[in-house]
Amino acid sequence: MAELYYDDDADLSIIASKKVAVIGYGSQGHAHALNLRDSGVDVTVGLREGSRSWAKAEEQGLKVAGIDEAVAAADVVVILAPDQAQRSIYAEHIAPNLKDGAALLFAHGFNIRFGYIDPAPGHDVVMVAPKGPGHLVRREYEAGRGVPVIVAVERDESGQAWELALSYAKAIGGLRAAGIKTTFTEETETDLFGEQAVLCGGASQLVQYGFETLTEAGYQPEVAYFEVLHELKLIVDLMYEGGIAKQRWSVSDTAEYGDYVSGPRVITPEVKENMKAVLGDIQSGAFAERFINDQDAGAPEFAELRAKGEAHPIEATGRELRKLFAWVETKDSDYTEGSAG
């Protein structure tokens, strides 16, 4: 059984006695900085010169400084810029300014696991990774709740790294839900696998194939959209509440029987073999290398794949339909604000 931690297992005064620099003010950055501040922690947001987030963070009452300056003053440096930007931010702005004994905190293990950041000895390296998008991390905190977090220690040079990580997890509200102990390796590899094979990659491809199959057979795209995309949320909500079993309990017997006989026809054992190959590329570092090499080259492959995804006919159908849905709160413009992680 995994080790779980709650508010009573952590001492808030540890993080509250430190100066914290949060680098980046995007999805995770804004949530961590605001939650820390509201938990009584001395926090400064570190941003690049000319950052479009500077005014926003100041308007929300936070101290803001350039990255070098924020790092130089900090006992704990929290790296919440996008994974592909972290290596150069670390080399150019963090490493040269990092105080002796200052701790480094990540929300995802990518750069440590794959060796893109290799901190000098003497620094604790810890992770507090919320298992949800930053906007939810902030919203739940304000509502008196929290998003569960994954907590790990890669290097414990102070002998206090674990207590520090738990204290930070408590300050952002994560331990109101739960903290689960893991390692940088486990978090990184399972996170990448989950998003690639199931949550993002697998689900997106499944929905696109379903939409293509129906529309190519002559059915109306709007009807296809409802059946294979819109209703997915309702199914996932049931799974979230009570597992696959609750979903099967709630749907009609017709749907449940169809699930049993057709699910394995669509998702064949070969798909599991493909998943194993995806996991292999994550573990070997091949995926990380492909992603970072493309980013370093200006992200041509990423841009091409993104454009291809956006051009899929299901997107145009969905855009038109969602304008008519009074009950869907999220506006299409919302997703320009930050990634979902």
Interaction of residue 29 with ligand NDP, rule CB under 6 A: yes
Which uninterrupted H or E stretch holds 227?
Answer: none
User: Where in 106-145 is the site for ligand NDP (CB under 6 A)?
Assistant: 107-108, 129-130, 133-134
Q: Which of 93, 108, 135, 230 is catalytic?
A: 108
Which CB atom, from 28 or from 44, has the smaller least distance to Mg ion?
28
In angstroms, the CA 47 to CA 5 distance is: 32
Binding mask 194-223 for Mg ion (x = CB under 5 A): -x----------------------------
Interaction of residue 341 with Mg ion, rule CB under 5 A: yes
Tokens of 227: 């059946």
Interaction of residue 124 with Mg ion, rule CB under 5 A: no
Establish whether 48 is an annotated binding residue. Answer: yes
Piece in contact with Mg ion (CB under 5 A), picked from 10-18, 190-198, 218-226, 312-320: 190-198
Which CB atom, from 140 or from 191, has the smaller least distance to Mg ion?
191
Name the minimum Å distance from CB 251 to ligand NDP.
30
Residue in 90, 154, 89, 152 with CA at minimum distance from that of residue 123: 154
Name the minimum Å distance from CB 182 to ligand NDP.
13
Binding mask 69-108 for Mg ion (x = CB under 5 A): ----------------------------------------
Which CB atom, from 48 or from 322, has the smaller least distance to ligand NDP?
48
Tokens of 167: 């204290």
Which CB atom, from 62 or from 81, has the smaller least distance to ligand NDP?
81
**If you search the block for the tokens 């109101």, which residue do you land on?**
176
Residue 268 has phi, psi (to 5 degrees) of -80, 165
Nearest residue to ligand NDP on Cβ basis? 26
Report yes or no: 198 and 168 within 8 Å, Cβ to Cβ.
Answer: no
Instruction: Single out the residue of 9, 11, 60, 82 in contact with ligand NDP (rule: CB under 6 A).
Output: 82
Task: Give which of ligand NDP, Mg ion, none residue 66 binds (C-beta under 5 to 8 Å, depending on kind).
Answer: none
In angstroms, the CA 280 to CA 23 distance is: 32
Tokens of 110: 């990518």
Q: Is 108 a catalytic residue?
A: yes
Interaction of residue 32 with ligand NDP, rule CB under 6 A: no
What are residue 49's DSSP bridge partners? none
Instruction: Single out the residue of 148, 202, 318, 338 in contact with ligand NDP (rule: CB under 6 A).
Output: 338
- Give the amino acid at 64: V
Establish whether 227 is an annotated binding residue. Answer: yes
Sign of the alpha-carbon dihedral angle for 39, 41, 46, 51: positive
50: region left, alpha or beta (phi > 0 left; psi from -120 to 50 alpha): left
In angstroms, the CA 147 to CA 137 distance is: 6
Which uninterrupted H or E stretch holds 65?
Answer: strand 63-66
Beta strand pairing call for 149-155 and 179-181: parallel
Instruction: Single out the residue of 191, 202, 238, 287 in contact with Mg ion (rule: CB under 5 A).
Output: 191
CB burial string 48-70: b at 16+ within 10 A, e below: beebebbeebeeeebbbbbbeeb
Annotated binding site for substrate: 252
Binding site for ligand NDP (CB under 6 A): 24-29, 47-48, 51-53, 80-83, 85, 89, 107-108, 129-130, 133-134, 338-341
Binding residues for Mg(2+): 191, 195, 227, 231
- Residues near Mg ion (CB under 5 A): 191, 195, 341
Please give the positions annotated as active site. Answer: 108
